[in-house]
Amino acid sequence: MPGSAGRELAQDAAQDESSGHPARRRTDLIIGGGQAMGHVLELIAVAARTEIPVVIQGESGTGKELVARAIHYTGPRAARPFLTMNCGAVPETLMEDELFGHARGAYTGAHADKRGVFEEAEGGSLFLDEIGDLYLSCQVKLLRVLQEHEVRRLGETRNRRVDVRTIAATNRDLMAEMEARRFREDLFHRISVLPIHLPPLRERREDIPLLVGQFLQQFNRELGRTIRAFTPQALDRLKSHAWPGNVRELENRIKQAMVMAKGEVIDLESLDMFSGGAPGAPFPTYRKAKEEFVRSYLVQCLQAVKGNVAAAARLAGKDRKDFYDLMKRHHVDPADYRK
C-alpha cells in the first residue's frame, strides 16, 4: 500500500533524528500517497535492503537526492557517511582528482596526500548526481572502480580497496545519450540494474496537498510563523499550476507565500505576490507562458462544470475530441475536478 510505505519511511526518518545522526534531517521525507509515488517507495524499500546498483531518473526538482538519502538511511549503511558529488559541476581536468584523490607531489601544488570521494565515503554511500554529465574520459575509470572496488590516487602505482555503495541519478535520457555515444553502454548496464523513475509533479497532483502540509510545518519552524492552511482557492491554484520546476518550485512558492502572508491562512493575494517570478528570475518564454495559460484555462473550464468534459468543451467552444487532446497534452485529468 502506498500509504503504508510512506509511513514506514517517515518512521525510519524520525528514528534517525532521535538517534542524533548528524546527516539525517527531518525534511528528508518523501511525501506521496498516490499510485506513482507508491511504486517509487516500494522500489526504495527493495534498494535499501540490497546492494543492487540503482540509477534514479527524473526531471530537475523531483527529489532525486531525497530518494538516494532514503535508500542510504533506511539501509545497513545508515551509520556510515553519505556523500554527494555533482558530476556536472566539476571541470574535466579536476574530476579524476575529486573521485580518486592524489599523492603528495603528483602535480604542481599537490603539497599533501588527498583522499577522493570514494575513500571519504568508505563504508557508506556515494551519490553521483547528474551522472549523465560525466565526461567520457572519466566514465571508463569510474566503470573500473565499480567493477574492481579499487581506486588509484593520482601519482600512485598501488590500488586501494574501497567499500562504497554508489547511487547514481540523472535528468538525462541515458538511452539517448548512449545512442549519441555520449554515455558508455557498459557503464549504463553497471549502474542501472534497478532504475527508479521519479514522476514530475504535474503527474502526481494528488500529492500537492500532502506536500503543502509538509512545507507548512517545515517553514513555520524555520520562519517562526503559525500559518495553519491555504484557502481552498489558493490550494486550487497550486493544484492547477504546471510546475515546470517540480517539487523544488512548489517549495519555493510556498515559502514566498508564507513570508508575505498577513494572517494564519494563505489566500490568493499572498500566493500571487510572486506569480510573475521572484525578482531577478528570467522572464518566461512565449512557449512556456502559452502552455501555462492553456493548462490554467482547461482547469478553469473543468472546475466550472465539475469535471464534465463535454460541458467543458462546449464552454470553451471546442470540439470534444480536440478538448480531450488538449487535456492529454497538458496533463489535465478531468477526474480531479468531479466533486
Q: What pLDDT is stored for residue 80 in this prediction?
A: 96
Q: What pLDDT is stored for residue 273 in this prediction?
A: 63
Q: Nearest 5°: phi and psi at 90? A: -115, 130
Give which of 32, 33, 28 is closest to 15, Cα–Cα: 28
DSSP string, 24-68: --TT------SHHHHHHHHHHHHHHTS---EEEE--TTS-HHHHH
Q: What pLDDT is stored for residue 284 in this prediction?
A: 59
Q: What pLDDT is stored for residue 7 in this prediction?
A: 30
The second-level CATH assignment, the architecture, of 203-337 is: Orthogonal Bundle (1.10)
DSSP string, 200-244: PGGG-GGGHHHHHHHHHHHHHHHHT----EE-HHHHHHHHHS--T
How many whole angstroms separate alpha carbon 71 and alpha carbon 77?
A: 9
For residue 142 the three cell numbers come to: 569510474
Q: What pLDDT is stored for residue 23 in this prediction?
A: 45
Q: Encode the chain (339 residues) as per-residue pLDDT tens digits.
A: 333 333 334 334 334 433 444 444 433 578 887 788 889 999 999 999 999 999 999 998 999 999 999 999 999 999 999 999 999 888 888 899 999 999 998 888 889 999 999 999 999 999 999 999 999 999 999 999 999 999 999 998 999 999 999 999 999 999 999 999 999 999 999 999 999 999 999 889 999 999 999 999 999 998 899 999 999 999 988 988 888 889 998 998 898 888 888 889 998 887 876 554 443 345 556 677 777 778 878 888 888 788 888 888 888 888 888 898 888 888 888 887 776
Q: What pLDDT is stored for residue 181 in this prediction?
A: 93
* Long-range Cβ pairs for the range 185-192 (8 Å, 24+): 186/143, 187/139, 187/140, 187/142, 187/143, 187/146, 190/53, 190/143, 190/146, 190/147, 191/53, 191/54, 191/55, 191/131, 191/146, 191/166, 192/53, 192/54, 192/55, 192/168
Task: Check: CB of residue 165 under 8 Å from CB of residue 126.
Answer: yes
- CATH number for the segment(s) 2-199: 3.40.50.300
Q: Provide the residue ranges of all domains of the chain, joining segments of one domain with +.
A: 2-199, 203-337
**Do the two domains 2-199 and 203-337 of this chain adopt the same fold?**
no
How many whole angstroms separate alpha carbon 14 and alpha carbon 26?
A: 7
